[in-house]
Amino acid sequence: MDFELCKEIKENIARVIVGKEWAVELLLTAVLAEGHIIIEDVPGLGKTLLAKSLARSMGGIYKRVQFTPDLLPADITGFSTYNQRNGEFTFQPGPVMANVLLADEINRTIPRTQSSLLESMEERQVTVDGQTYPLPNPFLVLATQNPIELEGTFPLPEAQLDRFLLKINLGYPDHDEEMAIMSRFQETNPLEDLPAVTQPDRITGLQQACRRIHVSTAVRSYISELVHKTRSHPAIRYGASPRGSLGLMRAGQALA
């Protein structure tokens, strides 16, 4: 049943996204493993369309933030406003209160704003004026980076890169895929009529089911060996942390 639902989601996304089956599979892997994903590629390859298609298929809340140098942390997490009628502060939630948050061109904003996502990505909550607010479940940050036009950009700090489970590059479509894209989008945008095939609570159930997938001692040992090699290899400055070990294990459970 779990496999059939995943298959339905992939087929639904394929009604909009031409090709890129491997990218959709990795995207679902990140969702089921309760991780986040970063996509680095040139503009116009469908990164935003992919995020919207996933959110529509999940039946979840989708929000998008265009990261710019003047973006403030409160523009993402939300802020409190003073209500003169009752003399109390009211929390105005930011776009982070979503199931799928598209952080578009995340490397174009200052490190202070980039780091405002750390608590959300790790603990699934935001803290504003001393008050903690839980985020919707499931919660996925899909960040994009543009590898060209690097003037005025701010590379993500290592602490934030470590919060992403996967990084992918979509790449250009081949000839047949590009022909199919033009044909599919010639008269209508298939995203406008894309239905939901499930609801967020069922995705949460899939995440819980993934954690129950059996992982043998041999597989855990193999993961540990891989991670330890990154810590001793002379070409690697910083080896993977235990978060990397857990990420490998959970991604393997999700793929299984």
Question: Could you list the mean pLDDT of each consecutive 10-residue stretch along the chain, which spans 256 residues?
Answer: 81 86 89 90 80 87 87 83 77 86 86 81 83 87 79 72 86 87 85 86 90 93 93 88 91 91
pLDDT at position 223 is 95
Q: Which two tokens stand for residue 58?
A: 């999940």
pLDDT at position 151 is 61
Angle at 63 between CA 57 and CA 64, to 5 degrees: 115
Distances (CA, A) of 233 to 200, 220, 229, 236: 41, 20, 6, 6
The Cα–Cα gap between 94 and 63 comes to 9
pLDDT at position 217 is 95
pLDDT at position 158 is 77
Burial of 118 (0-12, 13-18, 19+ CB in 10 A): middle
pLDDT at position 159 is 75
Do 171 and 29 touch, CB atoms closer than 8 A? Answer: no
Contacts of 148 (CB under 8 A, 6+ apart): 42
The Cα–Cα gap between 197 and 181 comes to 23
pLDDT at position 37 is 92
pLDDT at position 192 is 84
pTM assigned to the model = 0.85
Classify the C-alpha dihedral 40-42-48-51 as positive or negative: negative
pLDDT at position 152 is 58
Q: Which two tokens stand for residue 222?
A: 């193999």
